[in-house]
Structure 1
């Protein structure tokens, strides 16, 4: 097969006297295409009106030696596709020199409502510098916005690219071949010509093979074969448990169970609401393998042991793990169950015995992506007859015909018969109830200089200055210095109480601040309160961002800038310096809302909440995290050397909380004796504990996921992780179009 480069098919618009205003007519010499603007505006108005705004600009992607031609691999990706990007970076999307070309990837991403995905994406961007993020939501129609904005991004930031390959993270492998060998390719997929580079998608090899694999050959998932692995070389894995050694050979697995090796988890029913609920209660998740045909078994389980309930301080909730059945009746009933109970996760593989391993694989990934708040997970099947819970002391009376699983201090007896002594007390879940967790600081004589000890009545926390100084010296030694002081933020008539909206922001987040000022962070009078924003910012190395920030400060006067660099650990410096700034420059603020710039905040609801809550000025209000488990890996990693305990004190989630003026002096004083912890919301929890402050939890501080319905926003005090376009849509729907009962226009 011989391939010739395509002729230039760039559409040349032809004047179109017939179609009239609002339409464009194009011709490629064979067909004529007419595009009518009015129709597009009516059906997809958000696509026509969108203006590209980068949240992560990918400035360094195309930098490099000018003498080497650049082949840019532009890869469409979703924020949730962390694993796919990691695999691509380790294999075909790794920056390298090939055949005189500098090959470099860039991942093109829109916004996800899941803050966990966005946090991981930000970490990737900081580590690899190969992400461009725009502020539109990820969706199928918005892939066209990705196309539009990428073309403009290339023109503005990557004009030095000689060739551009455009693909997605669904690509499994890229190999390289000289064009001269393309005559030996039997094409089973698609041939795409990009300049003089020929991309063969889904291609098999001709009889002559590819002796010199140098330019571009892509083999998609359906044709991917495992490499042979003689001996212990590539293609095999060896594991040992100290007694036995186990060798797993990829070639054998690929030959016998190819569908298991190449499957990529895709959810048809995602089970989004399974793990939602009050974050203050620990969650025990009952993960139950089930077949679509097992309708009766699931119904029995839901009426008995798999019924959602509160037990011994734990929130117990089931989730049924299901694959696809060819019987449409079973699938229809499963869909009805999902809508009624919301406790089903369905993947697109067929339910079969070998595919139970896919259920295991995909469930682990599902938990990591959608149910990280589960404290313990029981894994079983609908064949389980009953689950009973027992104090460990009673286990000697149990005759086990099934399995005993020990989860922490909870013993799960699956399919158990009763021993001769019976289970006198085995009728419910025994978990030691949590003690009263109200914080009351206790001085710590005896630990000497260099450490602080705090107790909340249940847990004792020891903070060792030496460990903090060794691991985060810059946090301990920093002295707050303002580059922009925000002097005018809190000025105003003394007779009106002030609700200050203190918003953590990055210099690069110009668009987010602009959206906030047009909507919820606009200064106004509400319910007798004067509401005013202040944006809390550190320094960026990018002079463009700092220049725009200076212009904002001059125009709006609502920016406070400190001289530390913006980073995740330095958010704690922002906490420290803000408390001191309030004490020095804004003592007249009656209440302070503290939040982020990537959320929807509802000031009218905040004012109503304050007026209707008894003793609102005596507690801190928020979504209170109760003794959260310390994470030893990932973005929120804290080393055991720095903090050896396994749990944190209570703290309000940093997505947004309210504190009264009376709390500020005690919090500011606590900053003098508590070392600066590298997680800002945990740091606040230690300060509040040292200050002896109390909390009030309210679920309307929606710092986690929420059903994206307009009137749900009306009932919320804040919703975290909302795209810019959605913030504007919600604000307009609530307070301009008044589409929810009780919503009215706001004062200007």
Structure 2
């Protein structure tokens, strides 16, 4: 291989080419040491973590299921497509007779985030008399030498906690739509008896009590709520992580959608959204894509009883009472979640 180029094979048909002439790659400055380290690294996990934590990609070819011009390919994802589970909990949802199923997409390498959630809000399994089941959804990361993140470590974690779902798609930021659609397929197949499901990110505080309390009086069909965005402008600045060119989406504003930080839906929507995906081309912005599918279905999003229940920011001077009045709040890291949970648990009245 030329010393001026490094080809990283992320998945079959998906290759990132890093050239020494590039100034940056995936949000990192491309120094000679970094380029050399990526090329010669003997640590598959280290290289995988570098790729999995990427926020932008300089040059990437995404496999797609439909024809697209070379300029628009990176904005579409390979769905519909038959993905398979490498780790699964096929019976747990029905055995527990879950009322609510919470699924947290998380990078395979991020054990710290999973453990923090298990120790905090993810440990709440019966709330207001309703069973809550919680699972982590992972993808797979491939690197140049064909190896992956240590799969045996994930198997041991799965055997210990019985809460990992891992499918054989590339685990990357640009495949969050795939993760979401695979989640919907899994919910349809494994949790037909549940009433509701929630998708939330791994850096969120979740007040499960408030969530279940809201759902006790929520519609049971054709229902989705969260931080609902209406008249959201399509970003045309190429440097934005959420950039979409007009060739991909010609409208100036998106249809209403629930922000991907955390949204809740009635279980019947899983199958409906999968059906709509056969008619709505899958783009890489997952929450917007679900909004497009809902528009195709003619289903309106429901605003939560209080707009601030799904908080997109953490107050500068957050108090213990803040945690009592929300359903979700975005955090900076797992340590902050542990601190917030201690505050929440020690709260006596608000």
Residue deviations 1:451-489 (CA, integer Å, cap 9, x gap)? xxxxxxxxxxxxxx6548961565246322211122133
1:488 to 61, 70, 91: 91
Q: CA deviation at 1:600?
A: 0.8
Q: Aligned-pair RMSD on alpha carbons?
A: 3.1
1:8-62 alpha-carbon deviations (Å, 9 max, x no partner): xxxxxxxxxxxxxxxxxxxxxxxxxxxxxxxxxxxxxxxxxxxxxxxxxxxxxxx
Correspondence for 1:593: 198
Matches within 5 A, 1:352-431: none
> How much has 1:614 moved relative to structure 2?
4.9
Q: 1:535 aligns with which of 136, 139, 142?
A: 136
What displacement does 1:730 show? Answer: 1.7
Structure 2 distance, partners of 1:727, 1:601, is: 10
SS of match in other structure, 1:696: coil
2: CA distance, partners of 1:570 / 1:94: 24
How far, CA to CA, are the matches of 2:183 and 2:95 in structure 1?
20
Return the offset for 1:551: 1.6
Matched, 1:662 2:268: yes
Residue 344 (structure 1) aligns with: none
Show the counterpart of 1:729: 339
Q: Is 1:629 matched up with 2:239?
A: no
Contact 2:233 2:254 in 1 (8 A): yes
Shift in Å, 1:704: 3.6
Aligned length, in residue pairs: 293
- Name the SS for the 2:138 alignment partner: strand
| Aligned twin of 2:282 | 676
Q: Deviations over 1:94-143 (max 9, x none)?
A: 7359xxxx999xxxxxxxxxxxxxxxx8437x669xxxxxxxxxxxxxxx
Q: Pick the aligned partner of 1:700 from 298, 309, 329.
A: 309
Alignment partners' CA distance in 2, 1:553 and 1:127? 34
Residues 1:577 and 2:186 are matched in the alignment: no
C-alpha displacement of 1:576 = 1.4
Aligned-residue offset at 1:670: 1.0
Matched, 1:650 2:256: yes
| Cα separation, 2, equivalents of 1:642 and 1:582 | 29
Is the Cα–Cα contact under 8 Å of residues 96 and 131 in structure 2 kept in the other structure?
Answer: no
Structure 2 spans left out of the alignment, 5+ residues: 1-5, 7-22, 39-52, 60-65
- Cα deviation, 1:299-322, whole Å, max 9, x if unaligned, reads xxxxxxxxxxxxxxxxxxxxxxxx
Measure the CA separation in 1 of the matches of 2:55 and 2:301. 31
Greater relative contact order (Cα < 8 A, sep 6+)? 2
Query: 1:375-412: per-residue Cα shift (whole Å, max 9, x none)?
Result: xxxxxxxxxxxxxxxxxxxxxxxxxxxxxxxxxxxxxx
| 1:558-577 correspondence runs (5 A) | 558-577=163-182
- Asked if the contact 2:99–2:195 (Cα under 8 Å) also holds between the matched residues in 1, the reply is yes
1:690 corresponds to: 296
The structure number with the bigger radius of gyration is 1
Maintained 8 Å contact 2:94/2:190: no
Which has the larger share of helix? 2
CA–CA distance in 1 between the matches of 2:326 and 2:219?
A: 20
Task: Note if contact 2:79-2:178 (Cα within 8 Å) is conserved in structure 1.
Answer: no
Aligned counterparts, 1:131-530, within 5 A: 466-467=67-68, 471-472=73-74, 475-476=78-79, 478-494=81-97, 497-530=98-131
Aligned residues of 2:224 and 2:263 also touching (Cα < 8 A):
yes
Conserved? CA contact 1:601–1:719, under 8 Å: yes
Whole-angstrom CA distance in 2 between matches of 1:711 and 1:468 = 51
Q: TM-score, with normalisation over the residues of structure 2? A: 0.75
Which residue does 1:155 correspond to in 2? none
Higher strand residue share: 1
Aligned position for 1:145: none
Deviation at 1:583, TM superposition (A): 1.1
CA distance in 2, matches of 1:103, 1:513: 28
Normalized against structure 1, the TM-score is what?
A: 0.36
Aligned to 2:55: 123
The change in CA–CA distance for 1:535 and 1:713 in structure 2 (over 3 A counts) is same
In structure 2, distance between residues paired with 1:689 and 1:568: 24
- Measured against aligned partners, the alpha-carbon deviations of 1:232-290 in whole angstroms (never above 9, x if no partner) come to xxxxxxxxxxxxxxxxxxxxxxxxxxxxxxxxxxxxxxxxxxxxxxxxxxxxxxxxxxx
- Distance change in 2, residues 1:476/1:619 (3 Å): closer
The equivalent position to 2:157 in structure 1, one of 536, 539, 552, is 552
Contact 2:310 2:328 in 1 (8 A): yes
Name the counterpart of 2:10: none
- Give the conservation status (yes or no) of the 8 Å contact 2:195–2:220: no
Describe the SS at the equivalent of 1:695.
coil
Does residue 95 (structure 1) correspond to residue 27 (structure 2)? The answer is: no
